[in-house]
Amino acid sequence: MDALDPQDWAVDALGALAHETRLSAFRSLVKAGPQGMIAGAIAEHQSVPPSTMSHHLATLERAGLVKATRESRLIRYRADFAGMRRLLTFLMQDCCDGAPEMCGNLLTELSCAAE
């Protein structure tokens, strides 16, 4: 993944997110934070069969957006926050042709507070 041109990597990452189930699963993992979620719980939360969810999670993992760790017979998935930052940085690095005020209060609009 790191050997890819940044634009090629971003296309792969955005392609992985360009599916309703994968985007929803990724957002659930971001919300879950560093503790992540067990694969079966993600499938249940998304109302998707476990085998189908495994395919989606593997796609996100190959794209560098999630990490998987085995815990006995279970697999825990976590959002790869470094991968997420890499994608967001790629998308925003040349923002606004030198006029960052055009982005407004983008960072203040993001809130980690519980809803």
pLDDT digits (tens, 9 = 90+) for 7-66: 999 999 999 999 999 999 999 999 999 999 999 999 999 999 999 999 999 999 999 999
Mean pLDDT (whole number) for 65-93: 94
pLDDT digits (tens, 9 = 90+) for 29-39: 999 999 999 99
* pLDDT attached to residue 102: 75
- Phi, psi of 68, deg, nearest 5: -120, 140
Residue 107 carries which DSSP code?
H
Pick the CATH number of 6-109 from 2.40.50.1020, 1.10.10.10, 3.40.190.290, 3.30.930.10: 1.10.10.10
Spatial separation of the C-alpha atoms in residues 28 and 2, rounded to whole Å: 25
Residue spans of the domains in the chain: they are 6-109
- Start-to-end CA span in the chain (Å): 34
Is pLDDT above 70 for 2?
no
Q: Are 89 and 95 in contact (CB under 8 A)?
A: no
* pLDDT attached to residue 65: 98
